[in-house]
Structure 1
């Protein structure tokens, strides 16, 4: 009875034959004490990329009959072909078996590349990265560079991905613009702080790519300004590969020039009930930035159902809707969007509708603030999203619904702030970070985001300490710095020798920075305690904090307690950083006692109306940014605006803006 050889059996037989030959050639009359045989060097046969019509199984058959040197080549090529055939398990099996043989350096590189490629296709990006890190060669292949870029993209390391793609486009120029287009798309997707880090590298053509991006980014969405900047760029970079993209960019600029004007704006805000103060603060920001070029209609989302509001909008036929704000209103609004809609050609003109008092009310509930804090990630649970005939700028991220093609959303996610801080600080040379975070939902999300980003960028895990409220907070900080253990050792030594030992408690020295997630009151207690518990034998540990630690109404004593802390916040809350100092001074005069929390919402109102005439442009050309009062806004491919915050530092009695990126 004959046994049919399966591909897996052929693989095992091939490797068994190879191992037998190698072991036999190593054999000697006497037993060697070494438990692992030393294989002889194999005459290297260069590994050429297999042809597209080659068959992986056919190469396995050849490997059984070939010499050792040639068999290894066939096996390497079959591993590559199994990837093309989407049989990634077989490819990995061959690569794993080959890794046990004495491959030449070039063969070993090819084998690891096959392994990394198969792992990437299986979604095992971290394992693929580990294999790529083992590859060392001065002339990387086209497949290796592309794979490095793809793996880094999936690991959320866009800067590293861009560096790989830059080498790919430079070393392997092609008539196809696909690689250049993907490279530029990735550059335009970066946040400003990521672009700053990228600009520090000295890589072929990088300066020109960044200059092309900036020519568009700084245009304020003005088509004429973009055309002028592109003309200048062409004169400056006459041999740059990015020139091949100019025709497509120019076409998009022309489309921008033909966009309809915005005549009517509807704003959906909670202007009554327990969120009244929040809604009125955003409304005040919108009106402060209003230039009188459109008619604005405010609709209270707390006095009627969303279905009735949609009917009002259908009668009003606005060009753009701002809002809703509250998350459940956002989901209801998106859910009610018709599957098919047509745009009325005659917009209904009307006066400004605003009978709401803009004077802030005394107090606002904390849970009301939480409900508008963008605390949930954007999900895609509704695959059939309808569309309204007008554009919409949502003031919160949806929870259950998806964002449509003509819809946009402002993200105020605290995770964005933590990610920016981790990225920026990791580029400052810090290696061993500690996060001290308040023990609540937002604190944990920020801490985990910071830790994940830090580990991705540096390869180092960090310590996270969640401190409770009250007296236990200080003991948690003391324990995290290992000062408590030092105190205990001193106490034990004193008891042992029965004398009063003069000794200083020593703090741990493996930490080189602390990221603090705390509100202003907690930060005021934690920061001095960190200073007190740093022993005189250790250098002071720099402390960085989130915007939650900044309360601009804090007294001089509070600022003195926070002296030296560097933090992120919206430009509106950093002295001298506002984009419109006249507007800022007027707001301070009208509402001198407005809290930091309300000031951030007021700034969001300013930004929301200033973004309206840039929505389509920022979608067409992702390079375009908007430098607003809540941060520098950038639109992603999902229609979500993410912001980059400014940096500032607590001095003895004041706060000053600083450059960190």
Structure 2
């Protein structure tokens, strides 16, 4: 767009003789390429700027820009770049950022790794200030609980959900315990009540027993209760979100697998690909209404227009009535009837779908999506891109069953889409062979809930920073809500295939 055209209009750096103007031109260019989703190119330009800076303050500010751009690059993209020929300066920055991510800023991990980094990159520009500051920050802001209380509802309707989360959490607890040299964290597991007053008594008793960090609950009603407190006595990481966003509650962090996050990121993705006019098709359920609202609000807030919305009967198989209304084919057929009545004889007529649309957002499970895609094609919408949430992801594992999903673009967590080299995924399948697909994501949530604990405060203080875990590239906003940037995929011949994303990765919803 306009930013890209402005970048083309900038003079070539080699044509500028004054070093001050060179630094200014590089600065403008680096901000521009970052804005159009090219953080690696921005880093390269910022490294060049270093040559023209004179004061420590200028250099430190430039290094902060470099770090911000590095944090916008996905970990797989960093690894790919390191596998190619690079300058020593760029390699040093990339590896330093990788250290910060993989150590989770735990002092016990980051200190030996940065010591090793200094040996490899002696004299690197980040060595004098930036690497030292990372060490100091890791000691200052990471959370190191001595006793964690895991409060989940192990009886009742959420029993299987709680069991899957607990299995993932316990796996991470014992896995990391074997790796750490520090004293083991104590762990108390509590069958949390869903009654507010009973839960509150359990919560206070857990603290009385020595818990200095609490994980849970799941129930939105209980999370609403916690959010309504002025502050919590100990840091608490809930595994769902309150129904309403409010002013931050001290020590409250919220983390979960909200489908609304996915709908919002689909809106980001579609707009980044130039889709500005959308229609939505969702089931006649409360869940469908939530996703339709999340997508529409995000899409229109960023300049898109939702020009039509319809619901379909989720328990049925024929959605043609809803699809015809969505595409204005019913109006087209009405015009034919009127013309025939006027002239008194049949007319040759080709129904024509609406032309003021360039994408379809659907909220559907895999069964519904397998029915919707062919019906869209039948009703002359075969050229419209279709976007969906991870709920379309099939558990059949049979490409022949899933060919009707071909071409639908959707987002999902790395655990589901990029698990071939994931040791956590392989071990979970080994330890719990029955970790079936309906609950598979919850194992990942449990693992990440444990591993996210040390980084929560750092991520909240530095909203631009992220950690790459099994449920996505995670950040924490100023309200303590964990945001997930997900992977993009499609179905091709009935098999999921990862897609390249605009700007290397989707931005987590704001």
TM-score (norm 1): 0.55
Match in the other structure for 2:217: 324
Matched, 1:466 2:353: no
CA drift at 1:298: 0.9
- Matches of 2:363 and 2:134 in 1, distance apart? 42
1:405 is displaced (CA, Å) by 4.6
1:275 to 138, 144, 158: 158
Once the two structures are superposed, residues 547-590 of structure 1 have per-residue CA deviations (whole angstroms, 9 ceiling, x without a partner) of 12224248666523222212112233337467334224326723
Q: Does the C-alpha gap of structure 1 residues 161 and 500 become closer, same or farther in structure 2, counting only changes over 3 Å?
A: closer
Mark the CA change 1:584 to 1:264 in structure 2 (over 3 Å): closer, same or farther.
Answer: same
Q: 2: distance between equivalents of 1:190 and 1:262?
A: 29
Are 2:383 and 1:533 aligned?
A: no
User: How many residues were matched structurally?
Assistant: 447
Mapped contact 1:520–1:548 kept (Cα < 8 A): yes
Deviations 1:410-449 (A, max 9, x none): 1433332122222222222333333223344443443343
Are the aligned partners of 1:572 and 1:578 in contact in 2 as well (CA < 8 Å)? no
Cα contact 1:576–1:657 (8 A) shared by 2: no
**CA distance in structure 1 between the aligned counterparts of 2:305 and 2:121, rounded to whole angstroms:** 43
User: Judging changes above 3 Å, is the alpha-carbon distance between structure 1 residues 282 and 250 closer, same or farther for their aligned structure 2 residues?
Assistant: closer
**Correspondence for 1:574 among 406, 417, 425:** 417
- 1:267 Cα shift? 0.6
Gaps of 5+ in 2: 1-8, 12-23, 29-33, 82-89, 178-184, 506-510
SS at match of 1:290: helix
Deviations 1:498-531 (A, max 9, x none): 6665543222333222221223333233221111
- Higher RCO (CA-CA < 8 Å; seq separation 6+): 2
CA drift at 1:174: 9.2
User: Per the alignment, do residues 472 and 589 of structure 1 end up closer, same or farther by CA in structure 2, a change over 3 Å counting?
Assistant: closer
Note the 1:590-629 alignment, pairs <5 A: 590-591=434-435, 594-596=436-438, 598-619=439-460, 625-629=466-470
1:26-175 equivalences in 2 (<5 Å): 159=35
Q: Which residue of 2 aligns with 1:223?
A: 110
| TM-score, with structure 2 as normaliser | 0.69
Contact 1:546 1:569 in 2 (8 A): yes
Higher Cα Rg, which structure: 1
Deviation per residue, 1:308-338 (Å, 9 max, x gap): 3134323431343211221233344x47xxx
Q: In the alignment, is residue 302 of structure 1 matched against residue 147 of structure 2?
A: no
SS in 2 for 1:450: helix
SS at match of 1:462: strand
Instruction: Considering fraction of residues, name the structure with more strand.
Output: 2
C-alpha distance in 2, partners of 1:251/1:318? 27
Instruction: Describe the SS at the equivalent of 2:355.
Output: coil
Distance 1:243 1:481, change over 3 A: farther
Partner of 1:630: 471
CA contact (8 A) 2:150 2:189 kept: yes
Q: 1:324 to 1:654 in 2, by over 3 A?
A: same
Verify the 8 A CA contact 2:369 2:405 in the aligned structure 1: yes
Contact 1:273 1:302 in 2 (8 A): no
State which of 451, 466, 470 in structure 1 corresponds to 2:296.
451
Indicate if the aligned counterparts of 1:223 and 1:254 stay in contact, CA closer than 8 A.
no
CA shift for structure 1 position 534: 1.2
SS of the counterpart of 2:411?
strand
Question: RMSD value over aligned CA atoms?
Answer: 4.9
Name the structure 1 match of 2:238. 394
Question: What SS does the aligned partner of 2:174 have?
Answer: coil
How far did residue 408 of structure 1 move? 2.5
